[in-house]
Amino acid sequence: MNFDLTEEQQLIGQSARDFAKQYLEPIAVGLDQTGEYPKAVVQALAKHDFLGLLLPADVGGAAAGFVSYVEVIEDLSRYCGAVASIVNNHTIAAYTIQQWGTAEQKKQYLPAMAKGELLGGFAIFENGPMPGVGQDALVATKHDVGYVLNGKKAFVRNAGEAGVYVVFATTDPAAGAKALTAFIVPANAVGVKVGEKLETMGLKGCPVAEITFENVVLAETALLGALNQGVEISAKALAVASVAEAAQTVGIGQAAVEHAAAYAKQRVQFGKPVAVLQAIQTLLAEVATDCHLARLGVRNAASLIEDGKPFEVEAAMVKSFLVRLGPKMLIDTCQVEGGFGYSETMPLPRMFRDIAGTTLLDAPGDFPEKLIAANIG
């Protein structure tokens, strides 16, 4: 299998790097310090068609394909992981509507999402052991007009900034997750309340908060997919998200090793650059190798998604690989730069915090092993 990018995919990746250099590099440090939502940058992303990359042309999307998408996410993440997370969460919401929405739902939401007029959010997680279980579980009760939602969603990215959420609720509290069902919920629906922004360790600037639903009335047309199809929909959507997040991890790791390599050539000890020391070369070589192999895995999974083939096992493998190696990339590059690398005046501490978020926040790192083990042989 050839993992080389086509000329079109290379051009899309180059446009992402040019965008990141112009718009993200100047704000990355400040964003990490303030955590302020980068509204102007998100508007610029929309103007450059990065918010509709996966959507088809008939709704105003770029129809670029998933391989191009993960290339863009990697390139954005090299400069600012938080902005890439905003794009990822928006895109997974749009992807879910595109895959399981009715013609009317697609017509109502996707053109605005492609243009960036409507930012998307994906609300699946809860404070209980799993969605649909626990005292704060989001419950959708059948009503004459459709459904009424009551409960909470936790760790929702783009919370407070999104104009529409893909939300998962159980339609039968006794059945819990087995009755999980997906809904499209406008952010301005009566009873939708966004809580205080969560102060996260990294990926600052991508808002994360709890959302409370108090007697939120939804029409029958808000149902996304079939009744009680939520487990199937969320599993596939999160698998897609895990591939995109893996691309984030690769991008951050690549930025870290490039910075460490440049530093090693400039840092002189005992009359020589530390880059000539075998120990330093070993650390740099291992991180560069990890990034390279992970990128190939990401592109393979992305190709399967793009071609409409089964991809869940490959997505799980990529996820599992980078959960282990993502943090190690930053530890190794920090060792190359020594005490200076540990300083907040250098970019590695920010990258360290961000890479933790790419492996933990959206898709739990412990989910892949069961799926991988069940498909060996």
Query: What CATH number is associated with residue 197?
Result: 2.40.110.10
Residue with tokens 């400039």, as numbered in its chain: 266
Residues 242 and 203 in one domain: no
Residues 38 and 48 in one domain: yes
Residue 235 near residue 310 (C-beta atoms within 8 A)? no
pLDDT tens column, 4-45? 899 999 999 999 999 999 999 999 999 999 999 999 999 999
pLDDT band at 367 (very low <50, low <70, confident <90, very high): low
What is the per-residue pLDDT for 365? 45
List of residues 6+ apart from 369 with CB closer than 8 A: 316, 320
Residue (of 163, 143, 166) closest to 215 by Cα position:
143
Q: Which of the residue ranges 126-130, 326-330, 343-347 would you say has the lowest mean pLDDT?
A: 126-130
Q: What is the rounded CA–CA span in Å between residue 30 and residue 36? A: 9
Q: Which residue has the higher pLDDT, 132 or 162?
A: 162
Residues 55 and 93 in one domain: yes
Last residue of a domain, one of 211, 228, 245: 228
Q: Considering its fold, how many domains does the chain have in total?
A: 3
Range of the domain at 187: 121-228
Residues 221 and 235 in one domain: no
User: Residue 111: which CATH number?
Assistant: 1.10.540.10
Kindly tell me if the per-residue pLDDT of 301 is higher than 80.
yes
Residue 183 near residue 154 (C-beta atoms within 8 A)? no
Work out the number of other CB atoms within 10 angstroms of the CB of residue 202. 22
Q: DSSP class of residue 126?
A: -
Q: DSSP class of residue 222?
A: G
Residues 28 and 90 in one domain: yes
Across the chain, what does the average pLDDT equal?
93
Residue with tokens 């809580």, as numbered in its chain: 195
Residue 2 belongs to a domain: no
Residues 302 and 344 in one domain: yes
Task: List helix spans (H) across the chain.
Answer: 7-19, 28-34, 39-47, 66-77, 81-100, 103-115, 230-266, 278-306, 312-342, 348-360, 368-374
> Helix 278-306 and helix 312-342: axis angle, to 10°?
150
Kindly tell me if the per-residue pLDDT of 177 is higher than 90.
no
Work out the number of other CB atoms within 10 angstroms of the CB of residue 319. 29
Residues 175 and 202 in one domain: yes
Residues 145 and 113 in one domain: no
To the nearest 10°, report the CA torsion of 42, 43, 45, 48.
180
Q: Exposure string (b/e) for 144-183, b if CB count within 10 Å is 16 or more?
A: eeebbbbbbbbbbbbbbbbbbbbbbbbbbeeebbebbbbb
